[in-house]
Amino acid sequence: MPSPIVGALDEAGVRLTGPRRVLADLIAERRGPFSAADLAADARGRRVEVGRATVFRVLDLFAELGAIERIDLPDGGHAYLACEPSHHHHVVCSSCGRATEVADGVLRDAVRDIESVTGFRIDSHRLELFGLCPRCRSEADE
Amino acid sequence: MPSPIVGALDEAGVRLTGPRRVLADLIAERRGPFSAADLAADARGRRVEVGRATVFRVLDLFAELGAIERIDLPDGGHAYLACEPSHHHHVVCSSCGRATEVADGVLRDAVRDIESVTGFRIDSHRLELFGLCPRCRSEADE
DNA sequence: AAGCTAGCTGAGACTCAGTATCATCGGCGC
DNA sequence: GCGCCGATGATACTGAGTCTCAGCTAGCTT
């Protein structure tokens, strides 16, 4: 079964090259957030050489297609996350790295409030949430 | 008149050194977000030499004291912003860089919703908003 | 199936933010 | 003033991300 990202590539009408397939597969197998360096290491682990520059380019491409998203970690670092193309936000577990998506709806009212208070016209926003996932919560309770 | 940051340093009981005063003044004069490199350049422009490492250290210190905050720009870069120490979020004008603070209250309900939907226990979050400030809006309308 | 070409790739040099180290300096409590 | 200890600056280092360019290849064309 081909990864859903490969399907997205196909639909977008971009070339389906070797490195793109490999990276799409590796991304599909990852659960939590990952960095460009992680992917490069994964590829090396499989004895598939993918240039560092290519990893960044492909990550950019996927992000443009909406197949993955770039998020900012609390420590200031960056990471990528496979996700649905619709606008949404991420909840990242600070213990195990597991991540979940949250629909954007919850923020709509808040954004409207902020617009009327500040006079700004809000064009875009980014919200990232960090905490403990259900599994890590119950482990912490024991 | 001393910058409000100098007061914060005093209260926190940390040393009031030359570089800290200089950087506090430079930060107080800035309107929008700024980077560590911006500050270093400002200092050089005034013929005051402040080591690059010191700029980062002082920025860290100020951030710890809550006198400034680190924000993530939409392009993935970082910047700092002078602000009040209470928890809040920033609205940054994507045209002129002017920034405003928004109290955290608007998000409380949204965070509660997200907790009940996902089962996560949310410990922290970061919200950044980008758009046009009132002034740039009216200029854009003309 | 062979040819063509735009677009992709990999190597490697480069930039730039941020960190680590360490000898020296200078705030500030005495 | 004196002296201690934290702060400083010079310098070297790391690691993420970008740029360039020669060579390669996916997939259209015939």
pLDDT digits (tens, 9 = 90+) for B74-119: 777 789 988 876 778 889 888 888 888 888 887 888 888 899 989 9
Q: What is the pLDDT of residue B2?
A: 59
Angle ∠(B15,B18,B19) on CA atoms, nearest 5: 95
Collapse the DSSP code of A122 into the 3-class scheme (helix H, G, I; strand E, B; otherwise coil) and give the result. strand
Q: Which residue of B72, B94, B123 is in closest CB contact with A123?
A: B94
Q: Which residue from A63, A79, A83, A60 is spatially nearest to A71, judged by alpha carbons? A: A79
Write down how long chain A is: 142
Q: What is the pLDDT of residue A60?
A: 93
pLDDT band of residue B48 (cuts 50, 70, 90) is confident
DSSP state of B15: -
Bridging pattern class, strands B78-82 and B68-72: antiparallel
Give the A:B interface size as CB pairs under 8 Å: 112
Distance from CA of A38 to the nearest CA of B (A): 18
Contact A123 B102 (CB under 8 A): no
| pTM for this prediction | 0.82
Q: What is the pLDDT of residue A27?
A: 92
Say whether pLDDT at A23 is over 90.
yes
Structure tokens at A122: 């809000």
Protein residue minimizing CA–C1' distance to D15: A37
- Cβ pair B45, B102 in contact under 8 A: no
Bridging pattern class, strands B88-93 and B121-132: parallel
Say whether pLDDT at A90 is over 80.
yes
pLDDT band of residue A52 (cuts 50, 70, 90) is very high
Q: What is the pLDDT of residue B1?
A: 55
- A105-118 helix and B105-118 helix, angle to the nearest 10 degrees: 180
Which of A70, A94, A127 would you mutate first to test chain B, the one with the most B CBs within 10 A?
A127
Structure tokens at A80: 């990528």
